[in-house]
Amino acid sequence: MGEQKREVVLELKGLKKVFGETTVLEDIDITFLKGEFHALVGENGAGKSTIIKTISGVHKPDGGQILLYGKKVKFNTPNDAQRAGISTLFQEIQEIPEMTVAENIFLGREPRRSGSVLINKKQLNQDAERIMEELGLSIDTTQRMCELPVSGRKMVEIARAVSQQASVVIMDEPTANLNAEEINALFRMIDALKEKKITVIYISHRMNEVFSLADRVTVLRDGKKIDTLDSNAYDEKSLISMMIGRELTEMYPKRQGEIGEVVLDVHNFSLDGFFQDISFQVHAGEVVGLAGLDSSGATAVTKALFGLCSKTRGEVFCGGRRLNIKNPLDSIRQKLAYLPEDRKTQGLFLNQNLIFNYTISSLWTRFSKMGVINNREEKERTEEVTKALKVKTKGLYSRPNELSGGNQQKVLLGRWMLDDYKVLILEEPTRGVDVGAKSEIYSQINQLAKKGVAVIIYSTEMMELLGMSDRILVFSTGQLTASLSKEEATQEKIMQYALVR
Amino acid sequence: MKNKNETRKIFFQENKNEISIAILVVILLIVSPMLSEFFLSSANILNLLRQTAYTAIAAIGMYFVILIGGIDLSIGSTIQIVGMASIIMLNHGYSMGITIVSILLLSVGCGLINGILVTIGKLQPFVVTLVMKEIMAGIVLITTGGASISGQSIPDSFMVIGTGYIGIVPIPVIIMILVFIIAFFVMKKMIYGRLLFVCGSNRRAAYNSGVNVCMIQISAYVLCSLCAAVSGLLIVARTGAFQPSTTGQGATGMEMNAIAAVVIGGATLAGGVGTVTGTMLGALLYGILANLFPLIGVSSYLQQLIQGLIILVAVIISVKDSQSIVQKMKVRLRKL
């Protein structure tokens, strides 16, 4: 494509951004063309989010220029950027839950009754419906936002961006919480945007999305631009090695080690409204993947196993003993470990030091006598784990909110390396984690498996399941529909069973 | 050697809050005698320490509750009810031991009600404890008819707790130091202290990590009530009589003093942040100011205003939430 001269919409020249003493962006030059899909890729902390926050007026640049249609612009707030035609979908959803879908779409620019300050509700709803139709979405615009699932809310956010007559739409990890169907709907919307000659700037950790959609890709590393490539000038391997600055020989390292006897034995496990009569076994040293679309019950199974949902039926045996688990405390006592899907809200203590975060679950068994903590041993062991996991940190007294996503996830995984657990249940172990940290986490999971831990992984990232699991259990509408061995499992097969009704 | 430097650096970083309050206290101690010649008189210093002891003990209890992200507005009334009950019991001829034990049990009961309503009833701690304050104050007024109860034949051994000395140190001050040492040890070395921190930091994550969040939360309210009861016993043992609804005994308004000490000590009302040492220093700072104001002729009306402002400033300083306008203004100020 690059041959014909295409109009440049947005241009960054020598962009620089400094936080405190660290330079997060240095000398960034990127041009964005009219109507192109331009992906920004790089590890966490490479500067992708900072770039879009600078473009959209959240941050002010400390050097360099932003040119919109050749004219230098300066945005003080995201609203300024929006008025100039740059709409941004941030990672965190920004809507107002108590208001309706239509009200959210037109927030701040509601149609008025002629000559008054009153909002023209009828017009508002009609306009909103028209936009939904244009985008091929079937969302009731009079519904309140809080009644929609996360994915629905994200769609509404996109609808809002589109309705703002933007010439540039920026998306930061828009597919993070969406299932396959919703992702497809999103991609259809992106196609529609491209047809309207709207430029899309896109950040994603999901390489397959970048590959199938991007016209051009800009690779960032450590706050510097490495290169901008046309879609025919790269493949997965070369892109990843550019991102991490080294050849990634094996994303999913091979596991060595024997699969032992049955550790976890689940019999007719049921939770009304979520899953029915699930039976499966996990062996020592085995990694079992759970696959399924949203509300298939796969993630409900992991939560129920750990005691986060009450009133399950059926039986679970661990190492031959019948488990009676009512809450996470029981589970941990029975040597079950659990890595929740959202580390920030469900796992970490963001304002407590790393030691607190590491040892919280093993204080009673490993680091205390009669309720008195052995601080020295605690410090030594956590130091070892930090080293083993290669956590990038200033020291044990830093807080998780000073760490990048990948390092936060490592700390959370480290919590379960301080005691001997029999079963490790992982939900989305690498969500929002950069490539380097990903492979580190995978190899640590493998090491735990090698030690004889039975590992269960729930993930929406298909490649991860295929790469990591010895066996994949596929769920659909609360039923276990298939158990595929590593050799049998393919993306198509999993999809096929996930859709069975 | 390098290791030692590193440790020292970490110590300063981790305790910079406490160190800065300690410096403030020292400055106040240097400046105060210049402002008033009475300040350093032994009578005044003893009085200052004694007053600080009442606040500090209650504040340490309040610290536990604030640390888990709650608040207890009922401790002033707890102190009142404790004072009343102990005088009534002693007047009826119960022995001192039985009186003290039953008073402490009574306060545990009050704390349990607070804790259970907040934790299992899932009610706002603010509302629950405010209502408890009203109810307990009501009970006191009904029982006494609003009149004071004078102590008849209060045993001397009881009065010693409030008025006695060991060496030159008043017993309430010694009890304060004991409470502080115990609380310090619990927060630094015991699992229980660790659990308080993590529950205040992220309840859901604490639950997922195998912490019995409900028990921890209830226990914090019980400890708070218990500390208030100790403070109340010391207050009533000073005079050997009980007067309902007086500020003279420092009971009403005690919750505000205790909260002030905790917040000045660097804790945040959102929970998960703050130390016992900070609370202790906060109580001391607050006590010195409260002692100094009348000496230098600040009227009690103005005093209240100033104390309110001090708490406001402490709250503003402790804000860390980046969404808060206060925090944004602070960041902007720092850039200037």
User: What is the pLDDT averaged over residues A440-445?
Assistant: 92
Judge whether A405 and A432 are in contact, CB under 8 Å.
yes
Query: In chain B, which residue's Cα lies nearest the Cα of A365?
Result: B191
Query: In chain B, which residue's Cα lies nearest the Cα of A20?
Result: B335
Mutation site for B-interface testing, chosen from A357, A360, A408, A421 by largest number of B Cβ within 10 Å: A360
CA distances in angstroms from A104 to A81, A109, A149, A205, listed in the order given: 18, 10, 15, 28
Contact at CB, B208 and A350, closer than 8 angstroms: no
Which pLDDT value is given to residue A20?
A: 64
Query: In chain A, which residue's Cα lies nearest the Cα of B190?
Result: A372
The Cα A149–Cα A178 span in angstroms is 10
Kindly report the average pLDDT of chain A as a whole number. 86
DSSP letters for A222-262: TTEEEEEEETTS--HHHHHHHHHTS--S-SSPPP-S---SE
**Strand-strand pairing, A8-19 and A22-33:** antiparallel
pLDDT digits (tens, 9 = 90+) for B151-201: 888 898 999 999 999 988 999 999 999 999 999 999 999 999 999 999 999
Superfamily covering domain A250-335+420-501: P-loop containing nucleotide triphosphate hydrolases (3.40.50.300)
A401, amino acid identity: N
A-B C-beta contacts closer than 8 Å: 75
B192 interfaces chain A, CB cutoff of 8 Å: yes
In this chain, the answer to whether the domains covering A8-244 and A250-335+420-501 adopt an identical fold is: yes
How many other CB atoms are there within 10 angstroms of residue A70's CB atom?
Answer: 10
Band (pLDDT 50/70/90 cuts) for residue A248 is very low
Mutation site for B-interface testing, chosen from A303, A333, A351 by largest number of B Cβ within 10 Å: A351
pLDDT digits (tens, 9 = 90+) for B295-336: 888 887 888 888 788 888 887 877 766 566 777 777 777 766
Rg (CA), chain A: 24
Which pLDDT value is given to residue A114?
A: 76
Min Cα distance A163 → chain B (Å) is 27
The Cα B240–Cα B152 span in angstroms is 9
Contact at CB, A345 and B204, closer than 8 angstroms: yes
Q: Collect all residues of chain A within an 8 Å Cβ-Cβ radius of residue B192.
A: 371
Which segments in chain B show pLDDT lower than 70?
Answer: 1-2, 245-252, 320-324, 335-336
- Domains of chain B (ranges, CATH numbers): 41-335 (1.10.3470)
Give A109: exposed, middle or buried? Use CB within 10 Å, 0-12, 13-18, 19+.
Answer: exposed
Contact at CB, A373 and B190, closer than 8 angstroms: yes
Where exactly are the structural domains of chain A?
8-244, 250-335+420-501, 353-416
Which pLDDT value is given to residue B259?
A: 92
Close Cβ partners of B252 (under 8 Å, ≥ 6 residues apart): B76, B80, B245, B246
**Position with higher pLDDT, B333 vs A464:** A464
**Strand-strand pairing, A37-41 and A199-203:** parallel
Contact at CB, A338 and B208, closer than 8 angstroms: yes
Which one, of A381, A372, A383, A353, lies nearest residue B10 by Cα? A353
Which pLDDT value is given to residue A177?
A: 66
DSSP category for residue A335: T
Min Cα distance B10 → chain A (Å) is 8
Judge whether A76 and A253 are in contact, CB under 8 Å.
no
B328 interfaces chain A, CB cutoff of 8 Å: no
Q: Which two tokens stand for residue A425?
A: 């249940």
Contact at CB, B191 and A371, closer than 8 angstroms: yes
Q: What is the largest CA-CA distance in chain A?
A: 77
User: What is the pLDDT averaged over residues A305-310?
Assistant: 88
Q: What is the largest CA-CA distance in chain B?
A: 68
Judge whether A472 and A465 are in contact, CB under 8 Å.
yes
pLDDT digits (tens, 9 = 90+) for A206-234: 777 787 888 999 998 878 898 898 888 88
pLDDT digits (tens, 9 = 90+) for A54-99: 898 888 888 899 999 989 988 888 888 888 888 888 766 667 778 8
DSSP category for residue A145: G
pLDDT of residue A2 exceeding 60, the answer is: no
CATH numeric code, A8-244: 3.40.50.300
Q: Collect all residues of chain B within an 8 Å Cβ-Cβ radius of residue A348.
A: 202, 205
pLDDT digits (tens, 9 = 90+) for A165-209: 788 989 887 876 677 777 887 888 888 888 888 899 998 777 777
Which pLDDT value is given to residue A181?
A: 74
Query: In chain B, which residue's Cα lies nearest the Cα of A307?
Result: B208
Main-chain dihedrals φ then ψ at residue A477, nearest 5 degrees: 35, 50
Query: In chain B, which residue's Cα lies nearest the Cα of A347?
Result: B205
Contact at CB, B209 and A415, closer than 8 angstroms: yes
Q: Which residue has the tokens 């220093």?
A: B281
